[in-house]
Structure 1
Amino acid sequence: MEDETETVCRVCGYDDEVFWEGGWPTAAICSCCGNESDVGDASVMGLRNYRGYWVGHGARWRSPLAERKQKSQGWDLLQQMANIPVQWR
């Protein structure tokens, strides 16, 4: 049986939370883009709209603490978005 745990945000590619487990949303809110699992990412069209809105408005971080931590480590938006699984791009 395949493990259905998703730790990568389907919208922005941030990998720091369990967003989906066993095929079910965990209601986790992404520290980067602010998406809540199963709200903006339940369909490919929905997450593309959310992603476009988020990037179009400057790709601002939801959590300033997480932002400082990532940016101090040389954060790169495009590199992070490369983490998004192919089926959710």
Structure 2
Amino acid sequence: MDETETWETVCRVCGHDDADVFWADGWPTAEICSCCGNESDVGDDSVAGLRNYRGYWVGQGAPWQSPRAERKHRSQGWDLLRQLANIPEQWR
């Protein structure tokens, strides 16, 4: 990565950070979050869209998209509120 590039590895919807790049230099990468299932630029291109997707996801019990990722993170003491705190302020 050169110094002028900005990579977003934190999901704008749920705050999950597994080092996947969701946005690279302002452009979506079509990466799908293993936690909430959002694809970059589908539900996370506006704050209103994020809040709607996040509210729906949390309202459904915050289910994990990937059972494998869920087992890994839950075994490490996963905490939804701690993860949501990872969301950058401009996307809350």
CA distance in 1, matches of 2:5, 2:87: 17
- For residue 13 of structure 1, the aligned residue among 12, 15, 18 is 15
Match of 1:70 in 2: 73
CA distance in 2, matches of 1:25, 1:55: 23
Q: Is the alpha carbon distance of 1:2 and 1:78 closer, same or farther for their aligned partners in structure 2, counting shifts above 3 Å? A: farther
SS in 1 for 2:22: strand
Question: TM-score under structure 1 normalisation?
Answer: 0.97
Instruction: Report percent identity of matched pairs.
Output: 76
Deviations 1:30-84 (A, max 9, x none): 0000000000000000010000000001000000000000000000000001000
Structure 1: which 4+ aligned runs deviate by more than 6 Å? Answer: none
Pairs within 5 Å for 1:1-89: 3-16=5-18, 17-89=20-92
Gaps of 5+ in 2: none
The letter of the residue matching 2:11 is C
Gaps of 5+ in 1: none
Give aligned pairs, total: 89
Q: Please identify which structure carries the higher strand content.
A: 1
Q: Could you say what the CA RMSD is over the residues aligned between the two structures, in angstroms?
A: 1.0
The letter of the residue matching 1:43 is S
